[in-house]
Amino acid sequence: MLLAAGPAWADIATYTSQSAHLGAVGATGVDTFDDLVVDEFASPLNRAAGAFSYTAAITGGTGFGASDDDVDVWLTSGSMDDTITFSGFGTGAAGAGGYFFGSDRFGFSQAIDHITISATDSTGATVTHVIDAPGPDSFAGFVSTAYLTSLSVSIGGAADGWPTIDDLHISAPVPEPAAYALMLAGLGLLGCAARRRQA
């Protein structure tokens, strides 16, 4: 009964520092988007961040690879009004985040008033975070005590840029101390078994 009730108490924490976010999660995969061509593509995209596969869907049906220098490429939408949604992380993802900012019609980074990022977890809980005057170094990350099911980004209808993301982070949870104890106990039993065989 207590196990069934546990997920209802899940909580989503928000981080605005990449280092703090990484300190709150386990193994993290990062999709840099640097393999995208600086051009238009059809949505959705099936991609991976390390060991985590995911889908990137853009409401308008098209997106763009964009960049200031054609080396560090990021993902942006085809319309100012679009929402970019990342989902399909699987049950192992406790954290997700990235760098969120705006770009102009040519794909260059651009100052915008604000950008809105929302994270939803397996309990249905949703947390929304707004970054005012975001730039390419504006990080936001979310960590759930359950597991994350989606992350979405938009500029909320503000007609001053396109929602853009770089370096999507998807993370596993930090292993519980009990998991370490079980692993150590298992290794100890294997060591005992090996010694008995030698004897």
Q: What is the DSSP string of 151-187?
A: EEEE-TT-TT-EEEEEEEEEEPPPPPHHHHHHHHHHH
CB 32 within 8 A of CB 136: no
Give the per-residue pLDDT at 5.
39
Q: What is the CATH number of the domain that holds 58?
A: 2.60.120
pLDDT values of the chain reduced to their tens digit, one per residue, 199 residues: 333 334 445 699 999 999 999 999 999 999 999 999 999 999 999 999 999 999 999 999 999 999 999 999 999 999 999 999 999 998 889 999 999 999 998 999 999 999 999 999 999 999 999 999 999 999 999 999 999 999 999 997 666 899 999 999 999 998 765 544 455 555 556 565 556 666 5
Distance of CA 186 to the CA centre of its chain: 33
Helix, strand, coil content of the chain in percent (nearest 5) = 20, 45, 40
Q: Is residue 76 in a domain?
A: yes
Structural domain count of the chain: 1
Q: Is residue 1 in a domain?
A: no
Give the per-residue pLDDT at 179.
44
Q: Is residue 4 in a domain?
A: no
pTM here is 0.84
Q: Is residue 67 in a domain?
A: yes
The CA distance from 150 to 70, in Å, is 28
Domain encompassing residue 127? 12-198
The CA distance from 142 to 100, in Å, is 13
Q: Is residue 51 in a domain?
A: yes
Q: Is residue 149 in a domain?
A: yes
Q: Is residue 7 in a domain?
A: no
- Cα end-to-end distance, the chain, whole Å: 46
Q: Is residue 2 in a domain?
A: no
